Amino acid sequence: MKKEDIELLGNAHIATSIDTPLRPDAFDKSDNEKINAIQRHFEAIMHELGLDLTDDSLSGTPYRFAKMYVKELFYGLNPNNRPKISTFHNKYGYKKMLVEKDINIDSSCEHHFLPIVGIAHIGYIPKDKVVGLSKINRLVDYYAHRPQVQERLCLQVLKDLQDALETEDVIVVITAKHLCVSSRGIKDKNSSTTTIEYGGNFIEPEQRNAFLKLID
């Protein structure tokens, strides 16, 4: 790819859809077939870098790398891996805000494939359904384990929770450090990125501020 094309891609990095751009044949291959193929590709990259793949410390790296990509870092690409979000009938009639704070974010930036590390805070106001608390953390983990931009991660979590809870009254805040900003390029160790997305009642500044006060 030419440098100008990369620059164009960079400028257009905010996608118009909140869906992760996947090809229709994304899951035609099994995980093991993907691991085998990625292993060969990564072996070629290491070879190009001049590394001696017969070294006993390096020889297992292409397989380790491929397994890590498919089964760990990017397990969230496959919709079959979406956690089951158990919801319960809100029979106690809890109608105020529920906040799940300091949810761990381990993600990867899709421009450099480097880590995005941070925390998410989520609030919602139940209607007829409440969700098992751990399912909120699991959902965040699932969407984080894709090549991501933080804005889309925030929107994907918001949309899924709104659908699962059958209410628009959800808010998602993510604060994260991008290693592509802190460890390469500009190498700014201090800055972090915050994204906030919400719907329903959280459009009201009073409701939003009540949430922001709780996560402060």
CB-CB contact of 144 with 153 (8 Å): yes
Site string for Zn ion, 155-184 (x = CB under 5 A): -------------------------x----
Binding site, annotated residues for Zn(2+): 109, 112, 180
* Number of Cβ within a 10 Å radius of residue 117: 17
**Segment contacting Zn ion (CB under 5 A): 22-30, 62-70, 86-94, 105-113?**
105-113
Among 1, 3, 5, 10, binds ligand GTP (CB under 6 A): 10
Q: Residue 150 interacts with ligand GTP (CB under 6 A)?
A: yes
Q: Residue 20 interacts with ligand GTP (CB under 6 A)?
A: no
Name the minimum Å distance from CB 196 to ligand GTP: 14
Binding site, annotated residues: 109, 112, 180
**Taking CB under 6 A as the criterion, which residues in 33-92 touch ligand GTP?**
none
139 binds, among ligand GTP, Zn ion, none (CB under 5 to 8 A by kind): none
Can you name the residues that pair with 130 across neighbouring β-strands?
88
Q: Which residues contact 147 (CB under 8 A, 6 or more apart)?
A: 20, 74, 77, 108, 109, 110, 113
Buried b (16+ CB within 10 A) or exposed e, 163-179: ebbebbbbbbbbbbbbb
Q: Which residues contact 33 (CB under 8 A, 6 or more apart)?
A: none
Q: How far is CA 31 from the centre of its chain?
A: 20
Q: Residue 208 interacts with ligand GTP (CB under 6 A)?
A: no
Q: Residue 121 interacts with ligand GTP (CB under 6 A)?
A: no
DSSP letter at 84 equals P
Binding site for ligand GTP (CB under 6 A): 6, 10, 13, 109, 111, 149-151, 178, 180-181, 185-186
